[in-house]
């Protein structure tokens, strides 16, 4: 004789709370605006699944005169370790939603501000995401927030079931000389496609012999980090495949990826090609291809590190042997125009470099005098 439960707990239906826009920067970085406590000015926060908490820029905290408490907690990033101060028990106010009882760790985001040309006041991560269902529309640049509960997902997508700590850890496939299935941090705060631990690449013999690697750098906690850039045959996330994907390879000296438990991270230049529903309460992530799914990848290589400083777009780093060095760029050059674009907008200039290969004319100011340079932007597929 079969028996059946007389009672079954049914979670409540998820309820819509609010909807607000976001700005997307190069590499897919998502910027949301929110008010801190009672302060009237809106601040810029990076929405970052690669953050295990929530943070505030040190200069922003100082400007608001916040009381800070030194902790014994250490945060790790690709370029360093840091013991951090905290600002305890504060709130963030988004349009239509106030999130209370938040403990912000304090970090210096001046470098990120220079990289993106937008003041970065903090990072919104696990402390926010764990409380809600968050829908990211990368087509229309809207975020919707819902209460936890039974949620109706759109048709045509795929449910990822990552492992969760404070970070989502997703299985994905990478292929070149070999096809390897491994676990990666799902990181919307990383403005690249894939970041692979050098230990993983070497131990797995992933890359084809003789594969060309280009020296480059990226920015993260602790400063700048030298890396290598190449293109691999295929990446697979869930059932979705991408061919000829640019990937960064780095020496993980601070064990950010906890290799061999994880082998790197999936960045938002991949995930911006989907509309994404982050359901941390149910430990799931739903992805559906969007209008950007077929966008071409960035295969350009200049070897130039450009930053916004004192209102000017400056060349700060020139990698030895790179197209930038061969063209005659020097650290300190102020970019005046690229291909007759005089906008002085760092996002525009980055997009011009990233969406073209071949010869480009750049005018810089050096010692207050204009200098015309021609850079032959390298196609890393060749």
Query: For residue 268, what are the CA distances in angstroms to 67, 104, 167, 326?
Result: 34, 23, 15, 31
Q: Which domains does the chain have, with CATH numbers?
A: 16-146 (2.40.70.10), 160-269 (2.40.70.10), 300-379 (2.30.42.10)
HSE, CB side, 13 Å, CA atoms: give it for residue 248: 26
Model confidence pLDDT, tens digit, residues 198-231: 999 999 999 999 999 999 988 876 678 899 999 9
pLDDT(297) > 80: yes
Helix (H) or strand (E) holding 354: helix 346-354
| Ramachandran angles phi, psi of 171, nearest 5° | -75, 135
> What's 114's DSSP letter?
H
Q: What pLDDT does 74 receive? A: 80
Model confidence pLDDT, tens digit, residues 345-362: 999 999 999 888 899 999
Q: What pLDDT does 4 receive? A: 53
Where residue 6 falls among pLDDT bands split at 50, 70, 90? Answer: low
Helix (H, G, I), strand (E, B) or coil at 229: strand
Computed over every residue of the chain, the mean pLDDT equals 94
Q: What pLDDT does 218 receive? A: 84
Helix (H) or strand (E) holding 287: strand 284-289
Beta partners for 85? Answer: 70
Q: Are 52 and 126 in contact (CB under 8 A)?
A: yes
Helix (H) or strand (E) holding 325: helix 323-327
Q: What pLDDT does 222 receive? A: 67
Model confidence pLDDT, tens digit, residues 12-64: 999 999 999 999 999 999 999 999 999 989 999 999 999 999 999 999 999 99
Q: Are 174 and 248 in contact (CB under 8 A)?
A: no
Nearest Cα to Cα of residue 247 among 263, 230, 262, 259: 230
């Amino acid at each position: 004789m079969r028996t059946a439960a007389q009672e079954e707990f049914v979670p409540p239906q998820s309820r819509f709370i609010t909807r607000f826009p976001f700005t997307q920067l190069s590499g897919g970085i998502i910027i949301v605006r929110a008010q801190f406590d009672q302060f009237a000015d809106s601040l810029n926060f990076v929405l970052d699944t690669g953050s295990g908490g929530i943070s505030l820029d040190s200069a922003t905290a100082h400007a608001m005169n916040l009381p800070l408490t030194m902790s014994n907690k250490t945060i790790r990033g690709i370029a360093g370790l840091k013991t951090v101060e905290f600002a305890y028990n504060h709130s963030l106010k988004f349009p239509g939603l106030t999130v209370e009882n938040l403990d912000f760790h304090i970090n210096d985001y001046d470098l990120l501000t220079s990289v993106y040309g937008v003041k970065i006041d903090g990072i919104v991560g696990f402390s926010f995401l764990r409380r809600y269902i968050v829908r990211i529309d990368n087509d229309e640049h809207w975020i919707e927030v819902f209460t936890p509960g039974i949620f109706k997902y759109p048709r045509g997508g795929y449910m990822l079931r990552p492992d969760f700590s404070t970070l989502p850890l997703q299985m994905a496939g990478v292929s070149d000389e070999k096809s390897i299935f491994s676990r990666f941090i799902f990181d919307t705060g990383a403005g690249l496609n894939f970041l692979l631990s050098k230990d993983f690449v070497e131990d797995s013999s992933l890359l084809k012999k003789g594969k060309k690697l280009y020296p480059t750098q990226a920015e993260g906690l602790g400063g700048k980090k030298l890396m290598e850039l190449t293109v691999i045959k295929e990446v697979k996330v869930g059932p979705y495949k991408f061919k000829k994907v640019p990937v960064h390879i780095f020496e993980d000296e601070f064990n950010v990826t906890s290799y061999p438990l994880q082998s790197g991270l999936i960045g938002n230049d991949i995930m911006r090609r989907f509309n994404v529903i982050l359901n941390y309460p149910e430990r799931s992530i739903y992805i559906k291809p969007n209008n950007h799914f077929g966008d071409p990848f960035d295969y350009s290589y200049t070897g130039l590190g450009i930053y916004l400083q004192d209102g000017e777009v400056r060349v700060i780093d020139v990698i030895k042997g790179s197209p930038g060095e061969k063209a005659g760029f020097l650290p300190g050059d102020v970019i005046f125009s690229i291909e007759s674009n005089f906008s002085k907008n760092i996002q525009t200039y980055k997009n011009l470099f990233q969406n073209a290969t071949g010869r480009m004319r750049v005018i810089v100011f050096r010692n207050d005098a204009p200098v015309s340079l021609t850079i032959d932007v390298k196609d890393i597929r060749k």
